[in-house]
Amino acid sequence: MRTSRDSGLRNVLLIALGGAALLANATRFSATPAPVAAVSEQEGLAAFETVRAVLQHPRCQNCHIPGDAPLQFDEGRPHAQNVLRGPDGKGAPGFACGTCHFTANPPASWGPHMPPGAPNWHLPPPQTKMVFIGVSSGELCRTLKDEKANGGKDLAALLEHVSHDKLVLWGWSPGVGRDPVSPPHAEFAAKFKVWVDAGAPCPR
Amino acid sequence: MKLIVNGKEHEVMTPGETPLLWVLRDFLGLTGTKYGCGMAQCGACTVHIDDQAVRSCVLPVGAVAGRSVTTIEGLSSAELHPVQRAWIETDVVQCGYCQPGQIMAAAALLKVKAKPSDADIDAALCGNLCRCGTYQRIRAAVRRASEIAGA
């Protein structure tokens, strides 16, 4: 027959064993840092609002269009000369973006109304339009993260892209007569990293 | 800087910021390429860089140092280019000012699309303006040039 003393002893033993198991687990995982989000989801969502504002700035969204005719100017009017996206995002055959847009802005001394330039001037290809215009914050966020839509970029590659790609950077040096993207690029890239570090949460 | 124009090498002594069109017309005497708007809005200044149509009025010459430039003067050598033959056959030209640019644009299109549809022709040449309104004949001539080149 069990006594209350036996039962007490058993409980002590179970607690001790449980504690040892927990300790063992803790020891086992201590070698690999736990994937604890260093940044909260709330902070990530707040940072994405800055990302959204940049992506939906005219310098960026004028080429991230739902149709096939790029836009120009702050008001986003259709690009003069009936310019088209073309089969690869680089313009119509025979009338490439590179017909007028070269690898750098023209000299500032030439004044306004000159075609701007940056390396690899192009739109997204028609198969993956990466539409930034007229979409909600949540839709924009999900498109941005979708590797089937974004050219196969994971979050690290996206961060690298927005931090260093020369066509992206052009948005902050758009040439005479055009407002650069706001806020400054360094702030945008920092917010983008916060969003990535938070696990890239998307607004509903 | 070195500039290769119509297969011939030139040493050009101008600041790199000089538009290519200025160099072609004023320094090399190649006046077939026309000045229209000076801001890539009309296409009269179209030349080829490595077979691609570009607007020479907004292209700093320093950006094309060492690259191959073709102007209307260099489009054909022994015999006329199919586009030039088609232009004559179709009697496209009215005043003629925009035509070197139109011809260079058409030749660039046929390089990448040998059998263009009317939509392809419109999309490729919509940046080349003609104040005489010869667009119908231009389109017919591009179709004819495609036939001549394919014959």
**Average pLDDT taken over every residue of chain B:** 97
Q: Strand, coil or helix: what is A22?
A: helix
Q: How many domains does chain A have?
A: 2
Q: What is the ipTM of this complex?
A: 0.96
Tell me, yes or no, whether B146 and B87 share the same domain: yes
Q: Which of A83, A85, A95 to mutate to test the interface with B (most CBs of B within 10 A)?
A: A95
Q: Which of A90, A99, A102, A110 to mutate to test the interface with B (most CBs of B within 10 A)?
A: A99
- Report which of B99, B39, B40, B43 is spatially closest to residue B75, judged by C-alpha positions: B99
Q: Please answer yes or no on whether B127 and A93 come within 8 Å at the CB atom.
A: no
pTM (predicted TM-score):
0.87
Which of A132-171 are b and which e, b meaning 16 or more Cβ less than 10 Å from the residue's Cβ? bbebebeebbebbbeeebbeebebeebbeebbeeeebbbb
Alpha-carbon span A92 to B24, nearest angstrom = 27
* Inter-chain CB proximity B54 and A106 less than 8 Å: no
What tokens were used for B72? 């209307």
CATH number at residue B95: 1.10.150.120
Distance from CA of B94 to the nearest CA of A (A): 22
Say what the pLDDT of residue B1 is: 93
Kindly state whether residues B66 and B45 are assigned to the same domain.
Answer: yes
- Within the 81-140 window of chain A, which residues sit less than 8 Å (CB to CB) from chain B? 81-84, 86, 92-96, 98-100, 102-104, 106-107, 109-110, 113-115
On whether both A3 and A68 belong to a single domain, the answer is no
B54, B102, B121: which to substitute to probe chain A, counting the most A Cβ within 10 Å? B54
Question: Is residue A204 a part of any domain in this protein?
Answer: no
Do A163 and A83 lie in a common domain? yes
Domain match, B29 and B70 both? yes
Enclosing domain of residue B6: 2-74
SS3 per-residue string spanning A83-145: CCCCCCCCEECCEEHHHCCCCCCCCHHHCCCCCCCCCCCCCCCCCCCCCCCCCCHHHHHHHHH
Share of chain B above pLDDT 90, in %: 97
Task: Quickly state the pLDDT bin for B45 (edges 50, 70, 90).
Answer: very high
pLDDT surpasses 80 at B19:
yes
Within 8 A of B39 by CB-CB distance, chain A residues are 113-115
Domain-embedded: residue A51: yes
- Give the structural domain span for A22: 1-36
Q: Which of B49, B74, B99 is the last residue of a domain?
A: B74
B16-30: string of b/e by CB count within 10 Å (b at 16+)? eebbbbebbbeebeb
What is the pLDDT, as a whole number, of residue A11?
52
User: CB–CB of B126 and A95 under 8 A?
Assistant: yes
Q: What is the pLDDT of residue A126?
A: 97
Quick one: pLDDT at residue A20?
Answer: 46
**Residue at a domain's end among B74, B94, B124:** B74
How close is the nearest chain A Cα to the Cα of B69, in Å? 13
d(CA A143, CA A12): 55
With a cut of 70, which residues of chain A have pLDDT below it? Answer: 1-37
**Same domain flag for A102 and A146:** yes
Q: How far apart are CA A131 and CA A167, in angstroms?
A: 17
Domains: count for chain B = 2
CATH number at residue B49: 3.10.20.30
**What does the pLDDT look like over B68-106, one tens digit per residue?**
999 999 999 889 999 999 999 999 999 999 999 999 999
First to last CA, chain A: 61
CB contact under 8 A, A100 and B127: yes
- Nearest CA to A125 out of A56, A63, A77 is that of A63
B9 plus B53 within the same structural domain: yes
Q: Would you tell me which residues 64-103 of chain B have a C-beta closer than 8 angstroms to some C-beta of chain A? A: none
Specify the pLDDT at position A22: 45
pLDDT digits over A78-130, tens only? 999 999 999 999 999 999 999 999 999 999 999 999 999 999 999 999 999 99
- Look at residues B25, B48, B74 and tell me which one is the last residue of a structural domain: B74
Chain B residues within an 8 Å CB radius of A102? 54, 58-60, 63
**pLDDT at site A93:** 97
pLDDT tens digits along B121-141: 999 999 999 999 999 999 999
Interval B56-60 mean pLDDT: 98
% of residues, chain B, pLDDT over 70? 100
Does residue B151 have a pLDDT over 90?
A: no
Q: What average pLDDT does range B26-48 have in this prediction?
A: 98
B83 near B20, Cβ under 8 Å?
no
* CA–CA separation, A141 and A155 (whole Å): 12
Q: Are residues A29 and A123 in the same domain?
A: no
Residue A27 within any structural domain of the chain: yes
Same domain, A32 and A107: no
Residues B66 and B100 in one domain: no
Closest by CA to A162, choosing from A24, A54, A42, A26, is A54
